[in-house]
Amino acid sequence: MSTPRFLTLPPGVRRVDLATARGSFAALEALPTAGHCEWMPAVLVPGLPGSKEDFIAVLQSLAQAGRRILAVDLRGQHETAGPDDPAAYTREALGADVGAVLDALDAEQVHLLGHSFGGIVTRETVLARDPDPGIASHTLMSTGPAAITGARQDSARQLLAAYPEMGLERIWNLVMEPEASAAGVPADIIAFLRKRMFSNSETALVTMAGEVLAAPDRIAELAKTAPPHLVLYGEDDDGWTPAAQAEMAERLNAAKVVIPGAVHSPAVEAPETTASALTDFWNHAETAHRR
């Protein structure tokens, strides 16, 4: 579970509802507090069971570099409504949703980032839109080549196994909240996490958990797509292993950044280092595009 570093929106960041051809998506929009947007916009897609708030700690730094930043809730996540239909939450359907978000920005090119399960979703977006996707670059943050592994795989399997008998509320009360408390998460953040958990579509949570456990390896296909790729992960990632992500970067011929001191959520655990790495990569990709 990603834990937001803080919940107060910094200057230049606001909550918006983004209208698209596939419905409305709740987002946090960050703009430079001074000057104009000189660089291409970026869209940030959260993991499971995350939300746009997982990016709060990096939004201002990313925007101050001179670009518009949008962090979105996926369909069925937190403040974006979703139907009681598992078909709405497949990798392909969610990837199409992200594509609709990109189209709604009315920008020639957009940088796209997916965190954890969000990376499984954004690669579907890139694959579906190639060879002319309107995507300036693609960042896989704390994401692996196929189904999730390690302790987070165990957590997802336990959720799916326990859900039919226990239900989400008992799982939260007996497992998730005690784990957060034991990890020293502040009470106000725990309160937010509880509110977010019960704002999610339960159908979305269960279906997405199944999707992250069954994701196929599509890296060979992704390596043939047009945008430059970045693989960014914490040195102690407990989702997909650092070794697996390093190998994925090689297969993609991608840039690679390892964030010191970070685990599975670099935007939360090392926001300034993460924001600096993303800005450098995005600026380099744009400069190369303009040549």
Summarize the confidence of residues 63-80 as an average pLDDT: 97
Q: Look at residue 253 and tell me whether its pLDDT is greater than 60.
A: yes
CA distance 178 to 164: 21
Mean pLDDT of the chain: 93
This prediction's pTM: 0.95
Summarize the confidence of residues 75-99 as an average pLDDT: 97
Question: What strands lie across the sheet with 255-259, from one edge to the other?
Answer: 13-20, 23-30, 69-72, 42-45, 110-115, 135-141, 229-234, 255-259
Summarised one tens digit per residue, pLDDT across range 20-30 is 999 999 999 99
If one counts every other C-beta atom within 10 angstroms of the C-beta of residue 81, the result is 15
Strand partners, 110: 135
**233 phi/psi in degrees, rounded to 5:** -155, 160
Summarize the confidence of residues 234-254 as an average pLDDT: 97
Q: Look at residue 199 and tell me whether its pLDDT is greater than 60.
A: yes
Q: What pLDDT sits at residue 119?
A: 98
Domain 13-290 fold is: Rossmann fold (3.40.50)
Q: What pLDDT sits at residue 221?
A: 97
Q: What pLDDT sits at residue 84?
A: 96
Q: Where are the domains of the chain?
A: 13-290
Q: How confident is the model at residue 1 (pLDDT cuts 50, 70, 90)?
A: low
Q: What pLDDT sits at residue 202?
A: 93
Are the CB atoms for 16 and 44 separated by under 8 Å? Answer: no
Q: How confident is the model at residue 132 (pLDDT cuts 50, 70, 90)?
A: confident
Q: What pLDDT sits at residue 213?
A: 94
**138 phi/psi in degrees, rounded to 5:** -135, 120
Q: What pLDDT sits at residue 261?
A: 95
Q: Look at residue 240 and tell me whether its pLDDT is greater than 90.
A: yes
Summarize the confidence of residues 98-117 as an average pLDDT: 96
Q: What pLDDT sits at residue 2?
A: 66
Q: What pLDDT sits at residue 159?
A: 82
If one counts every other C-beta atom within 10 angstroms of the C-beta of residue 250, the result is 12
